[in-house]
Structure 1
């Protein structure tokens, strides 16, 4: 592939097998997305890194492994490259770590080594000029996962009535459950989650906990693009079709894949989110995908796909 025109992806699916918060569709989500990237968007399979907790998986989706894969992708990026990160799994929202601070939104890797909005902002800030970094997060409380990124499509006043014919569960783990799990591992009697994470993961813990006073520097115009499965205070749904013989899947991941399949000529980031919202509304799923990016990237074609590149 031509230098500076690489398409590189990191896909993470966490099902948390044999736990109280086990999911069933997250690995399915990222395997399906890998097929879309290769067959629709021309990604070289060797440039797509898959991290899942499926049986026999080579690369487990621990916090350290996910961040290492993303760091390598960003470090190797050049102007013109297209970077993509798809996460499907649990997300959570934490109370402020210090008085006066905002609540913390985070992804929950398989080992509970939380990845926060500060970590993703740090990655975006390292991106070379002329490269783009698109994130799809099919997880609860995912709105705003790139710290200080501009909101283009935010909270909705529309409230849907969930359909009784659809069986689904929220992809979230409450803060207290995370704290209880970490406490069982450290045996430290404190409600300060940072203490537990630092004890367990040390230098692999989130920047948010290692440098509590960090001030993330938001660039005036950057190439970070976040398509979140829901608003900051909403949950994302996993559809359970196992009883009917079908596969479980994330509602937002599936909606995005439906949009991409139906729009061969290429859709803008804004169009992808708005059309995904319509699909979820029609299904009776009460979550509202959001878009966070610069003004220019709101109207840019998703993954920089041009009409003459489509099948």
Structure 2
């Protein structure tokens, strides 16, 4: 049986024609597809792209993204490498059962996918496989619920100024209040409970976080989840126009930093090395308010980025 298959889902949401429009997210996932195939040996047939471009056959709605993620996990086996790259808006939402806030990504229809959803996906990953998430979105630290923090909050204060802003700079953030206003106009329900609106609009396709009973998370122990987040939970990620060799190009600052790290290092890099070096790239580019983080087991922190686990790298 083949071991170490590499399967990827890449999602880029630019939200064209809306007040929340971004410009670099499609570029991010296209660039990531190229590096997955040329550097990491992914079969192009096993790299799925979802982008909210006019005319796209499958739009990156919450239901479609979750279906693609579930399909990827369902067809995975021991030793496989699963990779999910998301570039788009993120937000924070209050849990129904506590005062704790949960991280969420914002698909093109605003049907939020929460840290609870990602935890349930990781719980289903076969033993010996890995599920790596690279999220270039605001408030993305902790996007896999209950994952161990390896590289966390940056406590040394940077310069007393905001990120250097180009004309196209935009935070990858939709405030939850804005989503609530939009949902209220659609549901005509007067409540600040985001879950009520999501269940009304999307039914069973709404996040597991809002269903009753809320799913039970796995205990805190080493698992197969690896999260490389574009920033800390309390920070925002940038959508910005960067100067490239072939001109100016909109992109996500974190995705571009990871691409830069990979270009400057031809050899294998661990998950920890990718995040630490991406932090340095962002600091050099004057993104002083955005600090990528890493959440995973101790073993996966030192594991090679997007390579099968050592014990299953050979084909039996």
TM-score, scaled relative to structure 2? 0.92
1:6-155 equivalences under 5 Å are: 6-98=5-97, 100-155=98-153
Aligned residues: 304
Deviations 1:206-255 (A, max 9, x none): 0001135433113521110000000000000111359x962200000000
Equivalent residue, structure 2, for 1:201: 202
Deviations 1:239-283 (A, max 9, x none): 1359x9622000000001111122111100000000000000111
Stretches of structure 2 that go unaligned for 5 or more consecutive residues are none
> CA separation in 2, counterparts of 1:156 and 1:199?
39
> CA separation in 2, counterparts of 1:276 and 1:227?
10
> CA separation in 2, counterparts of 1:108 and 1:296?
30
> CA separation in 1, counterparts of 2:165 and 2:237?
18
Cα distance change of structure 1 residues 92 and 188 upon mapping to structure 2, 3 Å threshold: same
> CA separation in 2, counterparts of 1:127 and 1:214?
16
Work out which of the residue numbers 306, 309, 314 in structure 2 matches 1:303: 306
Stretches of structure 1 that go unaligned for 5 or more consecutive residues are none
**RMSD value, Cα:** 1.9
> CA separation in 1, counterparts of 2:10 and 2:220?
26
1:237-248 equivalences under 5 Å are: 237-241=238-242, 246-248=248-250
Equivalent residue, structure 2, for 1:214: 215
Cα distance change of structure 1 residues 77 and 164 upon mapping to structure 2, 3 Å threshold: closer
Secondary structure of the structure 1 residue equivalent to 2:36: helix
> CA separation in 2, counterparts of 1:177 and 1:240?
25
Equivalent residue, structure 2, for 1:289: 292
Equivalent residue, structure 1, for 2:254: 252
Contact preservation (8 Å) 1:149, 1:218? no
Deviations 1:91-141 (A, max 9, x none): 00123423x341121000000000000000000000000100000000000
